[in-house]
């Protein structure tokens, strides 16, 4: 009797080893694209570290750091086109910034400003999604609409390993499979759903092999190898664009920081584990070594790039903190395209109460 064993993992696709040396076929990308991807990773790490400090200073609200996952995000977003639909979770800011989201807009979101959820008009990115896994169903709907309209665009849904324990994950994969929807499900498996390790979420050895149950293709890549991520995502996107249906991509990575700024990972994560990933598997160090070995990156460029990134982030912070404050009643105006009578009454009542409170002070 042939039995498919759940503990037999899918192989991990890799282009670069931990020292940045090729162990697989290097994608045929122009030097400026390779350098552009690296610059995107440097900018993302700089932004993330600054945002974490801003939260600790009380200048922004709760924030979900992504350091350590830059390759998974930049590599996958680099395989998308501007006309493709993107449905992120709350930890995709690196990719979203690379795809055109202004950094000050990302900061405004953590400041609680309504404009923080406004995406650039020339992109098809949706705002950050906090509700776990719900964006997968939205992506399936968008991809299905593209197919019905005869468009070549695809949809990409981003989520973490914890989302694979949600019903929406399974419903989305099943619906996409049945109707051969042009959608890519991109899972950043960083090993932890807050404090729950992936081993406590599933008995299967990998996320990617779950694709078998839905009759779709599953790919498992080294999420800290930006070129492997790019290759895996490009294959998935090309399949979707060619009408070959959905793909589940698992990028095996690691978050170096807390789940959010409300989390203390020292209470559940082994310090030696963190040290191994930080010192041996940092995606930025790995890709920099590859570029240096190719002769297209130097120490001088490295110093200048980090300094330029710091200036760019500083300027974004200034723009965000000088942005006009929002009237709290603004929230009532964004429930529907046009305000209903009930919402108008609620807004007016709120304004009257706020005015009375101000008069009592």
Cα–Cα distance between 332 and 343 in angstroms, integer? Answer: 6
Q: What is the DSSP letter of 104?
A: H
Task: Clarify whether 255 is annotated catalytic.
Answer: yes
Residue ranges of the alpha helices (H) in the chain? 31-56, 70-77, 93-98, 103-110, 134-148, 167-178, 226-241, 271-280, 283-293, 299-321, 341-360
* Active-site annotation holder among 99, 113, 220, 255: 255
The H or E element that residue 219 is part of is strand 217-222
* Active-site annotation holder among 45, 147, 259, 288: 259
Which residue reads 């924030």 in tokens?
63
Q: Are 69 and 253 in contact (CB under 8 A)?
A: yes
Sign of the Cα torsion 187, 98, 41, 290 reads: positive
Task: Clarify whether 268 is annotated catalytic.
Answer: yes
End-to-end Cα spacing for the chain:
79
Predicted local confidence at residue 319, as pLDDT? 98
SS3 assignment, position 99? coil
Q: What is the DSSP letter of 79?
A: T
The tens-digit pLDDT sequence of the chain (361 residues) is: 554 555 667 789 999 999 999 999 999 999 999 999 999 999 999 999 999 999 999 999 999 999 999 999 999 999 999 999 999 999 999 999 999 999 999 999 999 998 999 999 999 999 999 999 999 999 999 999 999 999 999 999 999 999 999 999 999 999 999 999 999 999 999 999 999 999 999 999 999 999 999 999 999 999 999 999 999 999 999 999 999 999 999 999 999 999 999 999 999 999 999 999 999 999 999 999 999 999 999 999 999 999 999 999 999 999 999 999 988 888 888 789 899 999 999 999 999 988 888 777 6
Q: What is the dihedral of CA 98, 99, 105, 106, to 10 degrees?
A: -60
Cα–Cα distance between 97 and 103 in angstroms, integer? Answer: 6
Quickly count: other Cβ atoms within 10 Å of residue 87's Cβ: 27
Cα–Cα distance between 279 and 282 in angstroms, integer? Answer: 7
Task: Clarify whether 351 is annotated catalytic.
Answer: no
SS3 assignment, position 188? strand
* Active-site annotation holder among 33, 56, 200, 268: 268
SS3 assignment, position 279? helix
Q: Are 241 and 147 in contact (CB under 8 A)?
A: no
> Taking the mean position of all CA atoms in its chain, how far away is CA 347?
34
Sign of the Cα torsion 275, 280, 282, 284 reads: positive
């Amino acid at each position: 009797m042939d039995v498919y064993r759940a503990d037999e993992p899918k192989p991990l696709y890799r282009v670069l080893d931990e020292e940045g040396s090729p162990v697989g076929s290097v994608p045929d990308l122009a030097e400026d694209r390779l350098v552009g991807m690296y610059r995107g990773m440097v900018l993302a790490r700089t932004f993330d570290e600054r945002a974490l400090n801003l939260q600790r200073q009380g200048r922004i609200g709760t924030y979900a750091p992504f350091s350590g996952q830059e390759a998974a995000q930049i590599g996958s977003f680099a395989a998308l086109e501007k006309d493709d639909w993107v449905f992120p979770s709350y930890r995709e800011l690196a990719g979203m910034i690379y795809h055109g989201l202004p950094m000050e807009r990302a900061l405004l979101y953590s400041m609680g400003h309504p404009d923080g959820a406004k995406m650039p008009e020339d992109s098809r990115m949706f705002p950050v999604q906090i509700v776990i896994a719900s964006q997968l169903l939205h992506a399936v709907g968008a991809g299905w609409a593209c197919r019905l309209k005869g468009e070549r665009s695809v949809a990409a849904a981003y989520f973490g390993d914890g989302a694979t324990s949600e019903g929406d994950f399974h419903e989305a994969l099943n619906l996409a499979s049945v109707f051969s929807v042009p959608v890519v499900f991109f899972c950043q498996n960083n090993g932890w759903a807050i404090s729950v390790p992936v081993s406590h979420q599933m008995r299967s050895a990998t996320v990617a092999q779950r694709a078998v149950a839905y009759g779709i293709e599953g790919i498992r890549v080294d999420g800290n190898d930006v070129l492997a991520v790019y290759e895996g995502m490009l294959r998935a996107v090309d399949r979707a664009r060619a009408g070959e249906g959905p793909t589940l991509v698992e990028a095996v990575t690691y978050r170096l920081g807390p789940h959010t700024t409300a989390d203390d990972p020292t209470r559940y994560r082994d310090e030696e584990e963190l040290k191994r990933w930080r010192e041996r598997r940092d995606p930025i160090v790995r890709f920099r070594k590859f570029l240096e070995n190719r002769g297209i990156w130097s120490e001088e460029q490295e110093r200048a790039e980090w300094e330029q990134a710091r200036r760019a982030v500083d300027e974004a912070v200034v723009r965000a903190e000088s942005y006009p404050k929002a009237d709290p009643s603004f929230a009532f105006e964004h429930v529907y395209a046009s305000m209903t009578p009930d919402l108008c009454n609620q807004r007016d009542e709120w304004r009257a109460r706020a005015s009375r409170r101000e008069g009592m002070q």
